[in-house]
Amino acid sequence: MKRTALWVTLSLAAAFVVAASASANLLVNGDFEDDNFGIPGWVPGWTVTTYWWAGWGTGAPMLDRKTGYSTFTGTGIPFSGNYFLATDTMGHANFHVGAYQSFSVTPGATYTVSGGFMGGVQESNDTAWWEVKVVDGTTSDPDAPGTVIAKKDRPAGAGFFQFREEFSGTFTAGDSTATIFLKWGRAQSADYVISAAGFDNLVVVPEPASILALASGLAGMAGLALRRRA
């Protein structure tokens, strides 16, 4: 009986913990406010990297913790707080850069990803894109198959382009971990122009329905044990 009572207590406690976790952001430093002590390229909780770069002309631009950029009027400001992950640069195309972070999830559960992104590129003959993507597992491969949460494209030769938008999307976990990628790139041109990208307020939380189902399942098992005990 003591074992049954203990199991019931633990199951109910787990159900409450699971339900309470529904509002907790699974990402570390999703708002980029954590201090990096002025170290260029280091953003607590994130790996900032170059996914690929042609290796000619200017070096690939790197995202960093910034307070803003002024190149594209009205776009280069945080969605909240004082900082966001961003950069603006003048140079050639043929780069793909960004940042990523892995986090724990429950296989089969559905999660909501929300945040804001922004960017721009001057008139040029290259394609440009900005993307937020989630893939299963712990990986550093930005091309791994996954769920695209948000994406903006500027086709080649489309002229001056800028945007600043909030987004929200969902993914269903297929593993015990997932990795979110923040991606920015330009390709197929030697045009020497200014371009920019920024990301802010990244939040990943379980969908209420998934949390409710898991919590209800745990509570149901506890109730069944109580009935059998009776």
Q: Check if the beta carbon of residue 81 is closer than 8 Å to that of residue 65.
A: no
The whole-chain average pLDDT of the chain stands at: 85
Residue range 101-142, pLDDT digits in tens? 999 999 999 999 999 999 999 988 889 999 999 999 999 999
pLDDT class of 14 with cuts at 50, 70, 90 = very low
pLDDT computed for residue 230 by the predictor: 58
Task: Give percent of the chain above pLDDT 70.
Answer: 78
Nearest to residue 154, comparing CAs of 127, 132, 131? 127
pLDDT class of 16 with cuts at 50, 70, 90 = very low
Question: What's the CA angle centered on 154, arms 83 and 111, to 5 degrees?
Answer: 55
Question: What's the CA angle centered on 27, arms 25 and 32, to 5 degrees?
Answer: 105
Residue range 165-223, pLDDT digits in tens? 999 999 999 999 999 999 999 987 678 889 999 999 999 999 987 555 555 555 555 55
Residue range 1-13, pLDDT digits in tens? 455 444 444 444 4
Tell me the three state secondary structure of residue 227.
Answer: helix
Nearest to residue 46, comparing CAs of 179, 185, 145? 179
pLDDT class of 229 with cuts at 50, 70, 90 = low
pLDDT computed for residue 210 by the predictor: 56
Q: How far is CA 30 from CA 9, 24, 27, 100, 188, in A?
A: 34, 12, 6, 11, 32
Half-sphere exposure of 223 (CA within 13 A, CB side): 7
The one-character DSSP state at 60 is P
pLDDT computed for residue 70 by the predictor: 86
Q: Which residues contact 137 (CB under 8 A, 6 or more apart)?
A: 144, 175, 177, 178, 179
- The structural domains of the chain, ordered by start, are 24-206 (2.60.120.260)
For residue 88, pLDDT beyond 60: yes
pTM: 0.84
The span from the CA of 169 to the CA of 172, in Å, is: 11
- Helix (H) and strand (E) counts for the chain? 2, 10
Choice among 15-29, 81-95, 142-156 with the minimum mean pLDDT:
15-29
CB atoms within 10 A of CB 199: 26
Tell me the three state secondary structure of residue 179.
Answer: strand
Q: Check if the beta carbon of residue 138 is closer than 8 Å to that of residue 177.
A: yes
Residue in the structure block whose two tokens are 């953003």: 43
Q: What tokens were used for 103?
A: 């986090």
| CA-only gyration radius of the chain, Å | 22
For residue 225, pLDDT beyond 70: no
